[in-house]
Amino acid sequence: MGKFVMRQTATGFKFDLKAGNGEVIATSEVYTSDSACKNGIESVRKCCGSEVEDQTVENFETLKHPKYEVYTDKAGEFRFRLKARNGEIIATGEGYKSKASCLNGIESIKKNAPEAPVVEE
């Protein structure tokens, strides 16, 4: 089972959602406080079942928030970001070589985030 790992950084607090095998599935922004970071985790839990907007295809359909956005970065890798109802980015994924791997990352969030415990490091 996955877990949210919260930690303090030099500038605030952030979390990683890790799969059962310890791999990081998604990462947050840096929050100014412990409670704001925990609110971010709750937002991921609420929004993790959202639809996927595939921005890598021509004439893609724009979906309402919350949603996952799949896109290609400057290096040509596939990435995703999860946006909350207000349009804020609440979690991002790493770069993937294939779109299928990127979509698997999203499925892993959908599977792990709802029940994942929060662990503070």
10-residue stretch averages of pLDDT, the chain, 121 residues long? 95 96 95 96 97 97 97 97 96 97 97 96 90
The answer for 49, left when phi > 0, alpha when psi is -120 to 50, beta otherwise, is alpha
Question: What confidence score (pLDDT) does residue 1 get?
Answer: 85
State the burial class of residue 12 (Cβ atoms within 10 Å of its Cβ: 0-12, 13-18, 19+): middle
pLDDT of residue 76: 96
Q: Provide the 8-state DSSP code for 20.
A: T
The domain made up of 3-120 has a fold known as PH-domain like (2.30.29)
